[in-house]
A and B are shown apart, each in its own frame.
Chain A
Amino acid sequence: MSTESVPKDFGMPSAGARGIVASHKLAAQLSVRTAESCAKDLLHLLASNDGVTRCDLDASDVRVIDAAGLQVLLAFERSLKARGASLELRGCSPVLSQILAHVGLLGRLGTGPAGVQP
C-alpha cells in the first residue's frame, strides 16, 4: 500500500448501536506490487481492533486492482468472518465497481457511499 495515501491511524473503532466499527482507507493501487503491504496494513487493523464487529474500507481512491488485490480483500473478509465480523467496501471508485462487477463480486463486497458512517 502506498504510504502517501494510507492514513496511519488505522481507523479508530467507533462503538454504536450496531457494534464496534473499524474504518480504513484503501490506497489507490491494490495490485501484486502493493498486495503485501496492503495485507500487512489490514492485519494490523485486525490486531488493533479487537472485538470489532464490522470493518468499513473506504475504497473511493482505488484506481488499480488486480487478482492479487482482490485476494487480499477476500482473505481479509474471510478473517473478519472468522471473528464474527463483516467487511464493507464503501464508496467504491468506478474502476473498482467495474472490476468487482466483472468478476461477480460487486454484491458480495458491498458498495456503500464513501465517508458515510452508519
Chain B
Amino acid sequence: MSDELLASFRDELLALVASLEADLLELDERSTPEQISNVFRGAHNLKSAAAMLGLDAAADATHAMESVLEELRSGRRAVDRSVVTSLLGQLDGLRALVDSSSAQAPLVKERLYRVGLRCSADALTSGIDPVALLYALSDLGAVVSSRTDDSRLPPLEELDPHTLYLTFELVLRTASSPDEIRAVFLFAEDRIRLDIAELTHAEERPMASMPVESGERIAPETLAVSVRRIDTLMNLAAELSIATSHLEQLRSSGIGPADRRMAMACQEVRSLGSKLQEAAISIRLVPLAATFAVLRRFVRDQALRLGKEVSVELQGAFTELDKSVAERLLDPLMHLVRNALDHGLETPDERQRAGKAPRGLLRLAARQQHGQLVLAVEDDGRGLDAGRIREVAMRRGLVPQGSSPAEAELLELIFTPGFSTADQAGNLSGRGVGLDVVRQNVSALGGEVWVESEPYKGCRFLLRVPLTLVMLEGLIVQCGGEPLVIPLDVVKQLVRPAPGQIAGLPDGREVLRLPSHVVPLLRPTDFFGFGSADPPRGAVAVVVDTAIGPVALCVDEVISQESVLLKGLHRSLRFLDATLGAALLGDGRLALVLDVAQLAARARQERLGQASLVARLPLHASREPLRTSDL
C-alpha cells in the first residue's frame, strides 16, 4: 500500500473516531435505543477499519468498547454519565494510538494483485468450486474488483450443468505474498490454472464495482484528495486567467469582425477559467461540523472538571468553509469556549440563586453572510462586568482619569494584551493571556472579533472571517505607484475627496469628513513605505469596514475589480504587517493584499502609543455591526 493510500486509511479511521465521539456525546444527552445502536454500529465500523489497517491494539480496544456497548444495548447496564465518560476516555486512547501510528512506518505493506482463475471443464464434478475458492481469498485481503467471463457459456438448452465454462478474474489488495495467495488453491492445483500478477497503481483499473463485505455497499461518494493536488489545480486555473488577460491585451489592438470573434472567444475562456477556479475552491470546503464536534467534547470534559452543567447548542454545523480556515479557527474558538466555561457560566448553585435553570447553555452558531462566515460563541452566564473592566483599566492607565467611556468601548478593552479581571487565574483561563491572541489569530485570517454582553444574561463573542483564504474578490488600487488589493467585502464606499474634506488633527491623525460622519483616514503608502507624494496623495478614499468602525484608505486610483488567487508570502517577507498575502493580478503584476483590520489597528498603535487606549478608539463609531439576531 502506498504511503498516500495508508495516510488516507488513517484519515478515514480518525474520521470514524470523530464520528463515534459525536455519537457518544449525543448518547450522553439522549440515550434512546436508536442512539445506542448508532454508537454500537460506529464502534463496530471502527474495529473493522482498525483491524484492516493492522492496528491490532486499536482493534482490541474497540472490541472492549463493543462489549460495554453490548451491555447497554441489551439493557443489562444503564446509560449514565460515568459509562459515557469511560467510553470517551477509551476513545481518546484509541485516537492517540492511531495518531502515533501515523508517525511510524507503515504497519502493513499491502499490494494489489490481479488473480486470474481458469479451471478444467470437469472441476465441478471433481469437487472444486471456483466460486468458493475465490471467496476464500477475502480472508487474505480486500477484493477491489472482479469479473466473471462467461463468453464460452452456451444457452441453457445446450448447457451441460456438470461442465465448467466460466473463468474468473479479480483484483486483490492484500499484505499476503503471491505464495500465500497460491496456497488458497493448493488442493485444486492439478485442475486449475492460476495467474497472479502484481499491479502497479496505473494498472489498478476497476473491472466491476465490487462491494466487499455486503451486497448492499455502494461506491463511496467521497474521495480523499491531497490538498496539494487541489492547489495545483487552482494555480493552473489562475494561470489560465492570466494567460487570457494577455490574450485580450494582444487582440485589443486589432479592429474588425475577426477581432470581435476573438474577443468573444477570450470572454468564453475567461468565463470557463472562473468556473474552473470556483469548482476547485469548492473542493477545499469542509463543513464546520468537525470543528464543532471537537468543541462539544471540550465543553463536556471541562464542565465536568468545573462542576458545571452545560448544554451545547449547535447551529449551522454544516456551513462550509475552506479547510485551512476551519483549522485556524479552532484555537480562537476553543479559547472563547474556555472563557465562557471558566468565567461566564455559573455553577448550578449560583445559577439557581440567580433564578436561572441549573444547566447553563453554550451556543455555537455559524452562517454564511455576504460571502463571509459569521460565528457566534454565546453563553447564558453572568456576562461581562463593565464596572470591573473600568476599574482594572483605570488601574492600568488604559482609561484616562475622569473619562467616561461607553460600555462598548470598555468591552473592547478585554482584547488588550494582558488584560484580565479575574481575581485568580483558573486552570482554564484568567491569566490575562488569550483574548488578544484570539483577536490576533482572527485578524491573521483577515477577520475580526468583537463582543456583546448583557449583565446576568450572558455574553456573545462574534467572529467574522472569510470563507476561504484562497480566492478573494478584490478591489485593485494603485498606491504610491504600487498595486494593492483591498478585499472587496470590506469596501463600503469610494469617495473622491473634495478640497477640505480631508482634515488634519493636532495629534497628527487625519480624518475624512463624510456627509453624516467623520472617519479616520489612513495612508497605506506611509505604512508600507511605497513611493512618495507623486502622484497626488489621496486621489481616492476607499472607505472600509473594520472591527473598530469605518476607516478611509487613501489611494492614488482605483484600477479594477477582480478575483485574485491569494498566495502566502515567502518566509523572508512575513515581517510585513497588515497583509493577508500576495496576489498575481490579471496583468501579470504582483500585488500585496491588504489586511484592513490589522492596518487600522497597527496605524493607531504606532501613532498614538499605548497610553490612552480609549482615545485610540474610533472618533466616531458609526459602525454598522452585524445584527446578532441574524444568527
Contacts and interface: CB of A to CB of B under 8 A. Distances in A.
B215 A101 contact: yes
A74 B150 contact: yes
Given A46-B156, A92-B215, A107 B208 contact: yes
A43 B161 CA distance: 13
Given A32-B129, A103-B134, A68 B161 contact: yes
Interface string A102-113: 111111000100
Interface in A33-78: 35-36, 38-39, 42-43, 46, 65-68, 70-72, 74-76, 78
A86 interface: no
A39 B212 CA distance: 29
Contacts of A66: 124, 129, 131-132
A79 B156 contact: yes
Contacts of B130: 67
Contact of A35 (B123, B132, B157, B162): B162
A94 interface: yes
A95 to B, nearest CB: 9
A71 B166 contact: yes
Contacts of B147: 103-104
Contacts of B216: 97
Among the interface residues A72, A97, A100, A106, which one has the most CB atoms of the partner chain B within 10 A? Answer: A106
A82 B156 CA distance: 11
Nearest to A74: B150
A98 interface: yes
Interface string B125-165: 10001111011001000010111101001111101011011
A103 B214 contact: no
A38 B156 CA distance: 11
B107 interface: no
B152 to A, nearest CB: 10
A104 B207 CA distance: 8
Contacts of B162: 32, 35-36, 68
B451 to A, nearest CB: 57
Given A94-B214, A98-B215, A72 B131 contact: no
A46 B158 CA distance: 14
B211 interface: yes
Nearest to B125: A32
Interface of B: 123-125, 129-132, 134-135, 138, 143, 145-148, 150, 153-157, 159, 161-162, 164-166, 168, 170, 207-212, 214-216
Given A35-B162, A99-B135, A105-B148, 12 more contacts: A38-B161, A43-B156, A67-B123, A67-B129, A67-B130, A67-B164, A70-B166, A75-B155, A98-B214, A101-B211, A103-B131, A106-B215
Interface of A: 32, 35-36, 38-39, 42-43, 46, 65-68, 70-72, 74-76, 78-79, 82, 92, 94, 96-107, 111
29 contacts: A36-B161, A36-B162, A38-B161, A43-B157, A67-B123, A68-B124, A70-B166, A71-B153, A71-B159, A71-B165, A72-B156, A72-B159, A74-B153, A75-B154, A78-B156, A97-B214, A97-B216, A98-B214, A98-B215, A101-B215, A102-B134, A102-B135, A103-B131, A103-B170, A104-B170, A104-B207, A104-B210, A106-B209, A106-B211
9 residue pairs, one from A and one from B, having the closest CB atoms? A97-B215, A104-B208, A35-B161, A104-B146, A75-B156, A79-B155, A79-B156, A66-B129, A75-B159
